[in-house]
Amino acid sequence: MSTVAIVTAAGSGSRLGSDVPKALVPLGGVPLLLHAARRVLAAGIADLVVSAPADASDAVRALLGADQALAGARVTVVDGGPSRQASVAAALAAVGVEADVVLVHDAARALTPPDLIARVAAAVRAGHRAVVPGLPVTDTVKEVEDVAADGAARVRGTPDRARLRAVQTPQGFDRALLDAAHAAGAARAGDEALAATDDAALVEALGEDVWVVPGDRAAMKITTAEDLLLAELLLRR
């Protein structure tokens, strides 16, 4: 089976308090995107499609092309879009026809261990058509509505924590299913605010099963400056 990994890296660095795109923010001296791409290659996946911010795609192409650790990879860089869903769709359009398994990974999950990436790919190859890594939730989570002017929000309910999983990436899919899910998602979208925040949600919207496999704390998403500090600690460990 031929497996391709999409690494979506078109987000801004604003929540990190950075002027440069988030994917180019250094962690231990190496840009987040390189950390993520190297680990994908280490998992045995050598075909990568990266979505980059449109105004930084040349810089991203140069960065990936110059990295010795990625010498064995075939990397295509495309312009991302205004939402994560749009950025993944742009990358998916550039995935070669031969691919039958596609992983979708956030560059922001820079320290995702290669064995987790390989596990997700293996689960798809073994016959689960949509696979996401996830961890049990330790906080009690409330669903809220009606946010008031002072920021307070009315609680609608408390889902049973034992049934919740905080999901990560890479998420792995049978290629035909991911194509169908994104086509349906694009037809629904229009309003960027309604774009899906992960790819599994698009598959769920088709009524297809999605399976959760054990995730890894090291696959944390680096969003804030505090996350970056935590990632520096994980990297040194």
- Interacting residues toward ligand C5P by CB under 6 A: 8-11, 22-23, 51, 80-84, 87, 106-108, 197, 221, 223
Q: Which is nearer to ligand C5P, 84 or 175 (CB)?
A: 84
Q: How far is the CB of 32 from ligand C5P (least distance, A)?
A: 8
Q: How far is the CB of 50 from ligand C5P (least distance, A)?
A: 9
Note the helical H segments in the chain.
32-42, 57-66, 84-92, 114-125, 175-188, 199-205, 225-236
Q: How many residues does the chain have?
A: 237
Contact 54, 80 (CB under 8 A): yes
Q: How far is the CB of 171 from ligand C5P (least distance, A)?
A: 12
DSSP letter, residue 124: H
Q: How far is the CB of 80 from ligand C5P (least distance, A)?
A: 4
Instruction: Look at strands 74-79 and 101-106 and give their pairing.
Output: unpaired
Q: Which residue is nearest to ligand C5P (CB)?
A: 11
Contact 151, 65 (CB under 8 A): no
